[in-house]
Amino acid sequence: MANKKAVILLSGGLDSTTTLYYARAKGYKCFCLLFDYGQRHKKELKAAVKLAKMNKSPYNIVKIALPWSKSALTDRKVKVPEKCKNIGKDIPVTYVPARNTIFLSFAASFAESIGANKIFIGANALDYSGYPDCRPNYIKAYEKAVNLGTKSGVSGNKLKIETPLISMTKAEIIKLGRKLKVPYDLTWSCYKGGKKPCGVCDSCLLREKGFEESVK
């Protein structure tokens, strides 16, 4: 492949960090896009900066405001759910309206500007919180839309959205990450911003489940 540039949506969490290491292993020059969107803490963002620097990957932090969002991730008045028994069955209050559509739109603009034809996103539709913008049908539809609405897309240099983790369990993702030498101790997944992960939010529970199952 002549074009080996790729834009990586990097949050600093387990999935996006594994995706960064996966893209690097595939030989891509990775340009990381990080988002400061008014989330309730900055620990994940700080982790993303550290991980991008560790990998010598250029990064940009995009600062945006979503004042209308009533998500538990952006509105401190909304309580983060704890110890949910049916994670992924319903769309939780941690859903941020159209977040991946917003992020992918910035990524598409960035990719077209630097001549990259790949966007990597760590979307996952198995061990996940049930967000609709992490599902394969959404990714496929968005990829079609962005290629209809960009100069590169209509000129034949189509943009490809890569989701290497989308059909993997959290345990399978962690096993892949270990092979890629992902420093999971530097990642942050917890929805809360305490000194240590809370251990009871959806993200912490999914992460713990993944690590437990990855050694079976």
pLDDT for 101:
97
Segment 74-86 shows an average pLDDT of 88
Q: Which of 20-34, 51-65, 67-81 has the lowest mean pLDDT?
A: 67-81
Percent over 90 (pLDDT), the chain: 88
Segment 9-20 shows an average pLDDT of 98
pLDDT per residue as tens digits for the range 83-117: 877 776 788 899 999 999 999 999 999 999 999 99
1: pLDDT strictly greater than 60: no
Segment 204-208 shows an average pLDDT of 94
Domain boundaries, the chain: 5-213
Provide the CATH topology of domain 5-213. Rossmann fold (3.40.50)
Ramachandran class of 63: left when φ > 0, alpha when ψ lies in -120 to 50, beta otherwise: beta
Short-list 98, 170, 71, CA closest to 128 = 170
pLDDT per residue as tens digits for the range 28-63: 999 999 999 999 999 999 999 999 999 999 999 999
Segment 161-188 shows an average pLDDT of 97
Mean pLDDT for the chain overall: 94
- Identify the H or E element spanning 48: helix 43-54
Q: Which residues of 51-68 are buried (b: 16+ CB within 10 A; e: fewer)?
A: bbeebebebeeeeeebee
Q: Tell me which range, 72-81, 128-137, 159-168, is most confidently predicted by mean pLDDT.
A: 159-168
